Amino acid sequence: MLKWMLDMVKSGQKQSTPAFKPHRKDRERLVLHGLVELYINSGKPVGSQTLKEHGFEGLSSATIRNYFSKLEKAGMLEQQHSSGGRIPTARAFVAYAQSHQSAKSISGSDLNLLKRTLLVETKETHRYMEQAAELLSELSGCAVFLSMPRFDQDFVIDVKLVEVDASRCLAVLVTEFGLVHTELLHTQKKLSNHALKRVEAFFHYRMTGLDEPNLSEDEQEIAIRFYKEVMLRHVVKTASFSHADLYKTGFSKLLQYPEFNSSLALASGLSLFEDEHALEKLLESCNDLQCLIGDETLKDCASLICPYSVQNRRVGAIGILGPKRIPYPKLFALLKAVSELISEGLTRNLYKFKITFRQPGESLLLEDKRGNT
């Protein structure tokens, strides 16, 4: 029915079936949606003549201006200059976005790429989720953020030591599921690069039982202390956690939008990512596809968020952040496709590799079968 009304408004032709004209509010909504869509594509204020030339030939410029005036009074449009065109407000974007939340159209090439990436057998669950976020950012042209549960049976498989200065070094831990995190370690004496490599080799020896390194007495003492400290920190971090694991990427994608040309605008747009508590609450509260545009947290930005599940249990959510001027129908369809494929892929892999998971607040002291503790 909506398509018929839009065709009639655009063409100005009388229709025999159905035998009634769309209500004034419907025509008003079509004009609003047409303006929002044109503004999304051009980024420029839209005048009555411009809208008329882009699909609304059946309406006179005077009629379109009359609709503009009513929409402006309703808080849907604003005019930067008295003689200029109109631009949509946050309320207009919300109305437009809500009418497209059921969009399902996604290109065949994008869908095939998503399936090849997300419907794979892998035990590296953290790496899998990060790849999903990176791919969504690439396809959407937006920043992406997600929350994920804590996956159990995840053991440290590699440790790299990097010198920071004379009294500190950084331990980079890589787990079996693809998680990478760091720990800062202190030492009372500077370690040479060769000594640091031998201490690193000690970690490998303790985790595998292979290739015991030849350490001096001082190096042995430091290696044992470092090993116990790093592994105990990992056990504590794994066994109990109160906040969801978050992953954020695609910040540089925002630079392509004129709205973020200034450093102040970019910093304002990314302020959500600096407040991890607010970001976690935003993701945690998402139980269905939702769209947030221009509120106090997002300001001049828009965010689309969708939950994903494992065995029909909601375990996390994934979101897109961009300017208000984004292609909502395309991104709704893309986000839903990613959510569905993540749900399917994670469920398969957790079942296949017998992996369990926990969410914030759930505590479990893991027994490290590799002797890491």
CA–CA gap between residue 180 and residue 201 (Å, rounded): 19
- Could you tell me which of 35, 131, 173, 179 has the C-alpha nearest to residue 341? 131
In a domain, 179, yes or no: yes
State whether residue 216 is helix, strand or coil. Answer: coil
| 212 and 132, same domain (yes or no) | no
| 332 and 262, same domain (yes or no) | yes
Residue 229 and residue 295 in contact, taking contact as beta carbons nearer than 8 Å: no
Instruction: Give the chain's mean pLDDT.
Output: 87
Residue 22 pLDDT class (50, 70, 90 cuts)? low
Q: What Cα–Cα distance (Å) separates residue 358 from each residue in 26, 217, 349, 364, 365?
A: 48, 42, 16, 9, 12
Lowest mean pLDDT among 209-218, 231-240, 282-291, 323-332: 231-240
Lowest mean pLDDT among 55-69, 221-235, 288-302, 336-350: 288-302
Is the pLDDT at 74 greater than 90? The verdict is yes
CATH number of the domain to which 352 belongs: 3.30.450.40
Q: Average pLDDT, stretch 146-152? A: 90
| 145 and 176, same domain (yes or no) | no
pLDDT tens string 36-56: 999 999 999 999 999 999 989
Pick the more confident residue, 289 or 10: 289
Percent share of the chain, pLDDT over 90: 65
Q: What Cα–Cα distance (Å) separates residue 342 from each residue in 151, 313, 351?
A: 15, 13, 14
| 123 and 266, same domain (yes or no) | yes
Q: Looking at the 3D structure of the chain, how many domains does it have? A: 3
Q: Which domain holds residue 203?
A: 156-239
| 277 and 329, same domain (yes or no) | yes
pLDDT of amino acid 353: 94
What's the chain's Rg over C-alpha atoms? 27
CATH number of the domain to which 17 belongs: 1.10.10.10
Sort 1 into a burial class: Cβ within 10 Å, 0-12 / 13-18 / 19+: exposed
pTM attached to this predicted model:
0.84
Which of 185, 207, 239 is a domain's end point? 239
- The tokens 């599921």 sit on which residue? 177
- Could you tell me which of 216, 69, 152 has the C-alpha nearest to residue 369? 152
Pick the more confident residue, 299 or 310: 310
State whether residue 321 is helix, strand or coil. Answer: strand
In a domain, 363, yes or no: no
Is the pLDDT at 20 greater than 60? The verdict is no
| 140 and 251, same domain (yes or no) | yes
pLDDT of amino acid 364: 53
| 197 and 271, same domain (yes or no) | no
Lowest mean pLDDT among 29-43, 114-128, 229-243: 229-243
- Could you tell me which of 148, 196, 146, 133 has the C-alpha nearest to residue 170? 196
Query: Is the Cα torsion angle 195, 200, 201, 206 positive or negative in sign?
Result: positive
CA–CA gap between residue 274 and residue 271 (Å, rounded): 5
pLDDT tens string 2-14: 343 444 444 444 4
In a domain, 373, yes or no: no
Residue 276 pLDDT class (50, 70, 90 cuts)? confident
Residue 36 and residue 96 in contact, taking contact as beta carbons nearer than 8 Å: yes
| 77 and 173, same domain (yes or no) | no
Which of 199, 217, 239 is a domain's end point? 239
Buried b vs exposed e over 179-191: b needs ≥16 C-beta within 10 Å? beeebebebeeeb
| 161 and 120, same domain (yes or no) | no
| 285 and 333, same domain (yes or no) | yes
pLDDT tens string 159-171: 999 999 989 999 9
| 20 and 57, same domain (yes or no) | yes
Q: What Cα–Cα distance (Å) separates residue 5 from each residue in 136, 166, 363?
A: 34, 73, 56
Residue 295 pLDDT class (50, 70, 90 cuts)? confident
In a domain, 365, yes or no: no
Helix, strand, coil distribution of the chain in percent, nearest 5: 45, 20, 35
Is the pLDDT at 237 greater than 60? The verdict is yes
